[in-house]
Amino acid sequence: MIYPWQQTLWHNWQQLLEQRRLHHAILLLAAKGSGRGVLARQLSKTVLCQNSQVEPCDVCHSCKLFDAENHPDFHVIKPEQDGKQIGVDAVRQCNRWAVETSHLNGQRVILIEHADALGEAGANAILKTLEEPPAGCQFILTAQSLDRLLPTVVSRCNKWRLNPPDEANVKNWVESQLQQSILLESVRLNNGAPLATLAFIESGLDIRYGHLVTAFTAFVQPPHIGIYDVAAMCSADGIVTLQLLSYFLVDCLKWQQGVTQYLVHQESLPAVEAIAATIPTALLLEQIRNINNLHRQLAKHTGLNIELLVVEWLTGFIGK
Ligand SMILES: [Zn+2]
């Protein structure tokens, strides 16, 4: 199974598979929430399939094992936790898998998810294998973008970028999945990523975020009531809400500067306008910087008290 916006890339791969020209190390660059894991698994399953070269037959022993997540020749490594590096031990395990003989007399596939989390040591450990993998060994690496990938890794791979669908198509697709209409700002808050948008709405975060914007907008204006409610709302959904609030404040800043195109908060413009009219630009800038720092800090250290830190940040809006 693959998603509609993955078809073009998939057809390119299928052609290469048919001609037996697929590079032994594929690097798939795709945004979070675009289903890159699904696409990487589709390719893996196809490479391993015993009946077909261009798409999984779904009936052979290999396909069955793959679907049961029990394929002895399919190996995956990724960071143990979001934001953490892939351990060097895991990378060394890849080297061992690469030289193993196939259990099913076919290919082996090694999938490295979040390849941008390969640290320098990890990358060095895999470079030689990536460059000259043993026969019958297919590497697939996935990452969000080239930004955090080590050039030494990139240079040994064949790069493919999954272009996201335009936002109108994302909106249509999510609406067709949910059988309900959705706000354009839900798509923009998720950077246009279809699966992320779908999850945003299915989890009810869209509604809770709407409430947060209302409470936050009320708090920021004198007499600044409800600081603990806003902090509790942020804390309930975790650091993702800080990211969303940061987008909101950036919209307010843009509004102050007369930029009205491509604001994220299309359907919450009255709130954007209210804040833009209340907070001086310098304070807006400072608070955007502060919330981004806070977001980074909380992403790095999981033990911190988010509610307390958000209260401290919110205090920055009072009495200036
Ligand atoms: Zn098959």
Please, what are the domains in the chain? 4-161 (3.40.50.300), 204-315 (1.20.272.10)
208-241 pLDDT per residue, tens? 999 999 999 999 999 999 999 999 999 999 999 9
Supply the pLDDT for residue 270: 95
CA of 289 to the centre of ligand 1 (A): 52
Contact 175, 187 (CB under 8 A): no
Supply the pLDDT for residue 299: 87
Task: Please give the distance of CA 95 from its chain centroid, rounded to a whole number.
Answer: 27
**Closest by Cα among 247, 250, 246, 255 to 274:** 255
CA of 2 to the centre of ligand 1 (A): 16
Supply the pLDDT for residue 81: 83
CA of 57 to the centre of ligand 1 (A): 4
What is the C-alpha to C-alpha distance for residues 61 and 49, in angstroms, rounded to an integer?
8
260-281 pLDDT per residue, tens? 888 999 999 999 999 999 999 9
CA of 48 to the centre of ligand 1 (A): 7
Q: Euclidean distance between the first and final Cα of the chain, in Å?
A: 55
2-34 pLDDT per residue, tens? 999 999 999 999 999 999 999 999 999 999 899
CA of 5 to the centre of ligand 1 (A): 24
Residue 48 has pLDDT above 90, yes or no: yes
CA of 116 to the centre of ligand 1 (A): 31
